[in-house]
Amino acid sequence: MSKIPLPYSPKVLEIFKNPKNLGKMDDASVVAEAGSLACGDIIKIYLKIEKVNGEDTILKASFESYGCAANIASASILTELIKGKTVKEAWNISWKQISDELGGLPSIKYHCSILAVGALKRAIRKYYENKKRPEWLPEKETPEEKQTLEVEKLIEKLYKGLGQVQA
Ligand code: FES
Protein backbone atom coordinates (compact mmCIF):
# COMPACT_ATOMS: atom_id res chain seq x y z
CA MET A 1 0.00 0.00 0.00
CA SER A 2 1.49 3.36 -1.02
CA LYS A 3 1.47 6.21 1.48
CA ILE A 4 0.80 9.87 0.78
CA PRO A 5 3.38 12.00 2.64
CA LEU A 6 1.83 14.20 5.36
CA PRO A 7 2.03 17.96 4.75
CA TYR A 8 4.48 18.72 7.54
CA SER A 9 5.89 22.23 7.80
CA PRO A 10 9.63 22.63 7.08
CA LYS A 11 10.12 23.41 10.78
CA VAL A 12 8.60 20.08 11.89
CA LEU A 13 10.86 18.20 9.49
CA GLU A 14 13.93 20.17 10.53
CA ILE A 15 13.34 19.57 14.26
CA PHE A 16 12.44 15.92 13.68
CA LYS A 17 15.83 15.41 12.03
CA ASN A 18 17.64 17.30 14.78
CA PRO A 19 15.58 17.16 18.00
CA LYS A 20 16.75 19.01 21.10
CA ASN A 21 16.67 17.67 24.68
CA LEU A 22 16.11 14.10 23.60
CA GLY A 23 16.89 11.45 26.21
CA LYS A 24 16.42 10.30 29.76
CA MET A 25 17.37 12.64 32.61
CA ASP A 26 19.01 10.87 35.53
CA ASP A 27 18.54 13.65 38.07
CA ALA A 28 14.98 14.61 37.11
CA SER A 29 12.73 15.97 39.86
CA VAL A 30 9.71 14.45 38.15
CA VAL A 31 8.84 12.25 35.16
CA ALA A 32 5.44 11.74 33.54
CA GLU A 33 4.09 10.25 30.37
CA ALA A 34 1.13 10.44 28.05
CA GLY A 35 0.08 8.33 25.13
CA SER A 36 -1.35 5.04 24.18
CA LEU A 37 0.24 1.65 24.05
CA ALA A 38 -2.34 0.79 21.42
CA CYS A 39 -0.92 3.17 18.82
CA GLY A 40 2.57 2.76 20.24
CA ASP A 41 2.96 6.48 20.74
CA ILE A 42 4.21 7.27 24.20
CA ILE A 43 5.88 10.45 25.28
CA LYS A 44 7.79 10.87 28.51
CA ILE A 45 8.74 14.26 29.90
CA TYR A 46 11.54 14.77 32.43
CA LEU A 47 11.81 17.98 34.44
CA LYS A 48 14.49 19.25 36.79
CA ILE A 49 12.83 21.79 39.07
CA GLU A 50 14.46 24.02 41.68
CA LYS A 51 13.66 27.24 43.47
CA VAL A 52 15.10 30.32 41.81
CA ASN A 53 14.34 33.67 43.46
CA GLY A 54 11.61 31.94 45.47
CA GLU A 55 9.88 30.53 42.37
CA ASP A 56 9.76 26.87 41.29
CA THR A 57 11.71 26.98 38.04
CA ILE A 58 12.41 24.42 35.33
CA LEU A 59 16.18 24.24 35.08
CA LYS A 60 16.23 21.38 32.59
CA ALA A 61 13.67 19.53 30.48
CA SER A 62 14.08 16.49 28.28
CA PHE A 63 11.91 13.87 26.63
CA GLU A 64 11.74 10.37 25.25
CA SER A 65 9.29 9.70 22.47
CA TYR A 66 8.07 6.58 20.78
CA GLY A 67 5.82 8.72 18.62
CA CYS A 68 5.80 10.15 15.13
CA ALA A 69 7.66 13.12 13.63
CA ALA A 70 5.01 15.55 14.91
CA ASN A 71 5.25 14.16 18.43
CA ILE A 72 9.05 14.40 18.46
CA ALA A 73 9.02 17.94 17.04
CA SER A 74 6.32 19.00 19.55
CA ALA A 75 8.26 17.59 22.50
CA SER A 76 11.52 19.11 21.29
CA ILE A 77 10.06 22.61 20.94
CA LEU A 78 8.11 22.24 24.20
CA THR A 79 11.23 21.34 26.19
CA GLU A 80 13.08 24.26 24.58
CA LEU A 81 10.26 26.65 25.48
CA ILE A 82 9.96 25.65 29.14
CA LYS A 83 13.66 25.59 30.00
CA GLY A 84 14.33 28.47 32.39
CA LYS A 85 10.63 29.23 32.82
CA THR A 86 8.82 29.08 36.13
CA VAL A 87 6.59 26.03 36.55
CA LYS A 88 3.61 28.40 36.58
CA GLU A 89 4.59 29.80 33.17
CA ALA A 90 5.12 26.29 31.78
CA TRP A 91 1.68 25.24 33.06
CA ASN A 92 0.05 27.83 30.82
CA ILE A 93 1.58 26.59 27.56
CA SER A 94 -1.05 25.17 25.24
CA TRP A 95 -0.79 22.58 22.50
CA LYS A 96 -2.04 25.22 20.05
CA GLN A 97 0.94 27.40 20.94
CA ILE A 98 3.26 24.45 20.25
CA SER A 99 1.54 23.76 16.96
CA ASP A 100 1.86 27.44 15.98
CA GLU A 101 5.56 27.44 16.93
CA LEU A 102 5.97 24.49 14.57
CA GLY A 103 4.37 26.40 11.71
CA GLY A 104 1.15 24.42 12.11
CA LEU A 105 0.44 20.69 12.18
CA PRO A 106 -1.78 18.67 9.87
CA SER A 107 -5.13 18.25 11.69
CA ILE A 108 -4.64 14.46 11.86
CA LYS A 109 -1.51 15.22 13.92
CA TYR A 110 -3.00 17.60 16.50
CA HIS A 111 -3.13 14.78 19.01
CA CYS A 112 0.67 14.41 18.86
CA SER A 113 1.04 17.91 20.23
CA ILE A 114 -1.81 17.43 22.73
CA LEU A 115 0.04 14.40 24.12
CA ALA A 116 3.30 16.35 24.53
CA VAL A 117 1.59 19.15 26.46
CA GLY A 118 -0.51 16.58 28.35
CA ALA A 119 2.66 14.84 29.57
CA LEU A 120 4.02 18.20 30.75
CA LYS A 121 0.84 18.98 32.68
CA ARG A 122 0.90 15.51 34.28
CA ALA A 123 4.52 16.06 35.32
CA ILE A 124 3.62 19.39 36.93
CA ARG A 125 0.64 17.86 38.78
CA LYS A 126 2.82 14.97 39.92
CA TYR A 127 5.50 17.36 41.17
CA TYR A 128 2.98 19.01 43.52
CA GLU A 129 1.26 15.76 44.53
CA ASN A 130 2.75 15.64 48.01
CA LYS A 131 3.42 19.34 48.34
CA LYS A 132 1.26 22.34 49.05
CA ARG A 133 -0.68 23.02 45.84
CA PRO A 134 0.25 26.46 44.47
CA GLU A 135 -2.71 28.84 44.06
CA TRP A 136 -2.26 28.98 40.25
CA LEU A 137 -2.65 25.20 39.89
CA PRO A 138 -6.35 24.37 39.50
CA GLU A 139 -7.64 21.81 41.96
CA LYS A 140 -9.73 20.11 39.29
CA GLU A 141 -8.62 18.87 35.90
CA THR A 142 -8.63 21.58 33.25
CA PRO A 143 -10.28 21.13 29.83
CA GLU A 144 -6.81 20.62 28.32
CA GLU A 145 -5.99 17.82 30.74
CA LYS A 146 -9.32 16.19 29.95
CA GLN A 147 -8.51 16.54 26.27
CA THR A 148 -5.34 14.47 26.79
CA LEU A 149 -7.40 11.69 28.37
CA GLU A 150 -9.91 11.87 25.54
CA VAL A 151 -7.15 11.69 22.95
CA GLU A 152 -5.63 8.68 24.70
CA LYS A 153 -8.98 6.90 24.66
CA LEU A 154 -9.72 7.90 21.10
CA ILE A 155 -6.42 6.75 19.63
CA GLU A 156 -6.64 3.49 21.51
CA LYS A 157 -10.09 2.89 20.06
CA LEU A 158 -9.05 3.99 16.60
CA TYR A 159 -5.89 1.91 16.43
CA LYS A 160 -7.57 -1.12 17.92
CA GLY A 161 -10.27 -0.78 15.29
CA LEU A 162 -7.76 -0.45 12.50
CA GLY A 163 -5.59 -3.19 13.89
CA GLN A 164 -2.52 -1.35 12.59
CA VAL A 165 -0.16 1.43 13.50
CA GLN A 166 0.05 4.60 11.46
CA ALA A 167 3.54 6.06 10.98
FE1 FES B 1 1.82 11.16 16.36
FE2 FES B 1 0.21 9.20 17.55
S3 FES B 1 1.66 10.63 18.46
S4 FES B 1 0.57 9.62 15.38
Catalytic residue among 12, 112, 115, 123: 112
Q: How many whole angstroms from 1 Cα to the centroid of ligand 1?
A: 20
pTM of the model: 0.89
Instruction: State the CATH class of domain 10-129+136-162.
Output: alpha beta
Give the residue-averaged pLDDT of 144-155.
88
- Whether residue 112 lies in the annotated active site: yes
Q: Where are the domains of the chain?
A: 10-129+136-162
31 DSSP β-pair partners = 46
- What does the pLDDT look like over 15-58, one tens digit per residue? 999 999 999 999 999 999 998 776 678 899 999 999 999 999 99
Residue 3's alpha-carbon distances to 67, 100, 156, 161, in angstroms, are: 18, 26, 22, 19
Q: How many whole angstroms from 37 Cα to the centroid of ligand 1?
A: 11
CA nearest ligand 1 atom 3, residue: 112
More confident residue, 104 or 154: 104
Q: What is the DSSP string of 64-125?
A: EE-S-HHHHHHHHHHHHHHTTSBHHHHHT--HHHHHHHTT---GGGHHHHHHHHHHHHHHHH
Q: How many whole angstroms from 41 Cα to the centroid of ligand 1?
A: 6
- Whether residue 68 lies in the annotated active site: no
